[in-house]
Structures are given as structure tokens and as C-alpha cells.
Structure 1
Amino acid sequence: MSRVVLFGGGPLAELAHFYLTHDSPHEVVAFTVNGDYIQQDTFHGLPVVPFETVQDVYPPGDHAMFLPLSFKQMNHLRADRLAEAKAKGYPIISYVSSKATTFPGFECGENCYILEDNTIQPFAKIGTNVVLWSGNHIGHHTVIQDHVMVTSQVVISGACTIEPHCFIGVNATIRDETVIGRESLIGMGVSILRDTEPFSVYKAKGTEPAGFRSDEIRSISHKSGG
């Protein structure tokens, strides 16, 4: 059990506070954000303190930190804040939901945020500062390297490699034995069948409107007695 300072003061920090409070051995004791972004002195009844001086109020010898930040700047923002927290001397926790499916030998690095209904198969490896939002499939022998964001309902098949700072959108599918190059952005609903080059961007074509209104369907059904 650790006494934890959470980085953030918005919805993502609020959600992390809920998960740590109800599904972990840790105790959240405060929130921290950069001083220019402080809008209130308390959040969920706990103090909000400037990140610049957090170590003076909640010293790292007695506290850990968790940084559940978004994928902004292709996860570089989260990586930078993590490095700054470590430079202050804070041990960094990870959160793995009790409702995620893992197997003996599972390990992940620091500041990982793995939510409910993720299935992480045997021999998969998860690096540092990885976010797996809810409902993903991580295939056997897949390696997810550092500073990656995987959103929801993503299928990463077996023996894939996801290189650092990638973002994978909702409902994307990645074929087995595929390498997703560094800082690739895989949009929602995209199917990847071959290796990607570093800094690639893939986006799906949106579904076009059918060209008629839903009340027209209702009208046709009524006339036909359906």
C-alpha cells in the first residue's frame, strides 16, 4: 500500500481516484498540477498542490505518485511529466484493474493504467507508461513498448511489436506478427495488415449517409402494413 499523489485535476484524475479508491490497496492523499493550472484548492475533498513544490508538502520518501494523463502530443506530455516526477524522487505506481484478465508471469512497467476487461494473453510484455483503456485484446508474445496509448476494443494479435509513443484508436485491428513503428497514429476502425513506418498516420474512411431519412423508412413500413 502506498500513499499516492495523483497528477491532474480533471476527469482523468477523477477516474483514477475512483479506481484507486475502490480497486487498489493505495490511498490517494492529494492531487497535483502545474501551478498555472490550479483552479481550486481541493478536489474530491483532497488538497490540490502545485507540482513545482509538491515534494515540499508530500515528500517522496513517504509518498508515491501516479500520472494518469492523456495521449496529448503522442504521449510525450505524459512521458515528460513522468520523468519530472521521477527526477523529484517519487516512486511511481501502476494500476491494473482486478477485472482485467492476466496470467502468471504478467508484468508491466511504471505508470501503467490498465482498465477493466483487457485480456492480456500469456507472454505478452507491457512497458512503462502504457495506457490500456477498457476492453482490449493483447495477443500472446506481443510487446507493447513505452509511452503507448491503446484506447478501447482494440485487437492486437499475437507476436506484434508496438514501438514507443504510438496511439491506437477505438476498434482498430492489428494483424499478428506486425510491427507498429514508433509514434504511429492508428485511427479508430483501422485494420493494419503490414508493418508501419515510424510517424505514420492511418485513418479509416467514415461511413457515408444512406441518402434517405429514417422517417421515410417508417412511412414505407406503415404503407406496406409492416
Structure 2
Amino acid sequence: MAKVVIFGVLDTAELAHFYLTHDSDHEVVAFTVNREYLKEATFWGLPVVAFEEVETLFPPSEFKFFAPMTGRKMNKNREKVYLDAKAKGYEFISYISSKATLFGNEIGENCFILEDNTIQPFTKIGNNCVLWSGNHIGHHGVIKDHVFFTSHVVLSGHCVVESYSFFGVNATIRDYTVIAEGTLVAMSASITKNTEAWGVYMGSPAEKRPTPSYKVY
């Protein structure tokens, strides 16, 4: 059990508060946002404090951190908060739903893994990843840091997902595929071969679009 400070006061932070409260041994004690977005003093009956001074009010020696953010800017926003909080000295929790199916998988810190995810044996997940509900993550795969899966994605066996990638709803990835850094796999896209870094892939079979992912999302 840890006493946890959550970054954010929007939907994802609200959901994190719900899941941690109802499906973990952790205790949420506060929320934090960048000072420019600090509009209310409380959220869900808990204090909201400026991120710029959070370590003085909730010292890293006593509290842990959770930043369950969206994949905007190809996960770069979430990476920045993760690294900034780490620089303040915080350790991170991960939330893994009790309704997810795992097999002793190696999973990093600051991961947000919701209900009905199936993560098959021998697959590893890095730091600062989000797996929304209902994904199938195949065996012997590697998912690196700062990756976002929406829902009902099928990642087949022996795949490698490089950092900053993003998967839309109902995307399907063939076995032994390498998803290059910063790949955006669109909703319902079917990936049958290795992707190129910062590419946007749409359709079935998927084709690469000319605009790079960091200019799209």
C-alpha cells in the first residue's frame, strides 16, 4: 500500500482515483496540476496542489506518484510529467486491474492497465504505458516505454512495440511485427508488416500516410 498523489483533474485522473479507491490497496491523498491549470482547491474532496511545489507538500520520502495521462502528442506530454516527477524524487505506482489476466509478466512503473486486458506469458511491458480496457497482448512480446493502447487491440505473438507508439480501437497487428518508434496505428487498421518510425498507418491492410504521427496526434 502507498499514499499516492495523482497528476491531473480531468477524466483520466478521475478514473484513476476511482480504480485506485475501489480496486487497489493504495490510498489517494491529493491531486496535482501545473500551476497555470490550478482552478479549484479540491477535487473529489482531496486537495489539488501546484505541481511546481508538490514535493514540498507531499514529500517523495512519504508519498508516491501516479500520472495516468492520455497519449496526446504521441505520449510526449505524459513522458514529460513522468520525467519531471521522477526528477523531483518520486517513485511511481502502477495500477493493474484485478479483472485483467496476467501470467507473472514484467511490467514497469506508472502503467495504467484496465479491466479485461489479456497479457499472455513471456510478454514484457515497459514504463509509463497505458492499456485501456479489452486488449489482447500476445505472448513473447515486448512493449517499450510511453506506449498507449486504446481498446480491443489485438497484438499478436512475438511483436516488438517501440516507444511512443499509439494504437486506435480495434487495431490488429500480425505476429513477429516490429512497430517502430512513434507509430500511430489508426482505428481498425490491420498491420501486416514492420512500420516506419513516426508513421501513420490506416486501413486494412494498412498503408502509411504522408503526414508524420507527431503532426497528427
Q: TM exceeds 0.5?
A: yes
Instruction: After TM superposition, list the pairs within 5 Å mapping 1:142-153 onto structure 2.
Output: 142-153=141-152
- The 1-side partners of 2:53 and 2:199 are apart by 38
Alignment of 1:175 with 2:174, yes or no, is yes
TM-score, length-scaled by structure 1: 0.89
- Residue 34 (structure 1) aligns with: 34
Secondary structure at the counterpart of residue 115 of structure 2: coil
Cα-to-partner distance string for 1:22-43 (whole Å, 9 max, x where unaligned):
0011000000000000111000
Cα-to-partner distance string for 1:47-80 (whole Å, 9 max, x where unaligned):
0000000011111110000000110110011011
- Residue 59 (structure 2) aligns with: 59
Aligned residues: 204
- The 1-side partners of 2:106 and 2:173 are apart by 22
- Residue 12 (structure 2) aligns with: 12
Q: Residue 203 of structure 1: CA displacement? A: 2.1
Alignment of 1:76 with 2:76, yes or no, is yes
- The 1-side partners of 2:129 and 2:142 are apart by 11
Alignment of 1:112 with 2:87, yes or no, is no
Secondary structure at the counterpart of residue 4 of structure 1: strand
- Residue 124 (structure 2) aligns with: 125
Secondary structure at the counterpart of residue 99 of structure 1: coil
Cα-to-partner distance string for 1:86-122 (whole Å, 9 max, x where unaligned):
100111000000000001x312111000000000000
- Residue 160 (structure 1) aligns with: 159
- Residue 212 (structure 2) aligns with: none
- The 2-side partners of 1:101 and 1:28 are apart by 25
Secondary structure at the counterpart of residue 197 of structure 2: coil
Structure 1: tracts of 5 or more residues without a match? 206-226
- The 2-side partners of 1:13 and 1:46 are apart by 13
Q: Which amino acid aligns with 1:38?
A: L
Q: Which amino acid aligns with 2:68?
A: P
- The 1-side partners of 2:118 and 2:50 are apart by 37
Structure 2: tracts of 5 or more residues without a match? 205-217
Alignment of 1:202 with 2:166, yes or no, is no
- The 1-side partners of 2:65 and 2:135 are apart by 26
Secondary structure at the counterpart of residue 80 of structure 2: helix
Secondary structure at the counterpart of residue 39 of structure 2: coil
Secondary structure at the counterpart of residue 83 of structure 1: helix
Q: Which amino acid aligns with 1:193?
A: T
TM-score, length-scaled by structure 2: 0.93
- The 2-side partners of 1:143 and 1:137 are apart by 13
**Structure whose alpha-carbon radius of gyration is higher:** 1
- The 1-side partners of 2:127 and 2:158 are apart by 19
- The 1-side partners of 2:74 and 2:151 are apart by 17
RMSD: 0.8
Alignment of 1:184 with 2:180, yes or no, is no
Secondary structure at the counterpart of residue 25 of structure 2: coil
Cα-to-partner distance string for 1:111-145 (whole Å, 9 max, x where unaligned):
00000000000001101111000000000001111
- The 2-side partners of 1:15 and 1:179 are apart by 31
Q: Residue 204 of structure 1: CA displacement? A: 3.1
